[in-house]
Amino acid sequence: MITEQECREAATEAIDELPDWARERLGDVAVIVEESHPDGIMGIYDPVGGIKRIVIFRDANPDAEEVKRTVFHEIGHFFGMGEEQIEELGYG
Domain of 56? 4-82
**75 domain residue, yes or no:** yes
pLDDT tens, N- to C-terminus, the chain (92 residues):
899 999 999 999 999 999 999 999 999 899 999 999 999 999 999 987 778 999 999 999 999 999 999 999 999 999 999 999 999 988 87
Task: Write the burial class of residue 52 (CB in 10 Å: 0-12 exposed, 13-18 middle, 19+ buried).
Answer: middle
Domain tally for the chain? 1
**88 domain residue, yes or no:** no
The CATH number that applies at residue 44 is 3.30.2010.20
Task: Kindly report the three-state secondary structure assignment for every residue of 44-71.
Answer: EEECHHHCCEEEEEHHHCCCHHHHHHHH
pTM: 0.93
The answer to whether 58 touches 48, Cβ cutoff 8 Å, is: no
Sign of the C-alpha dihedral computed for residues 35, 38, 42 and 46 taken in this order: negative
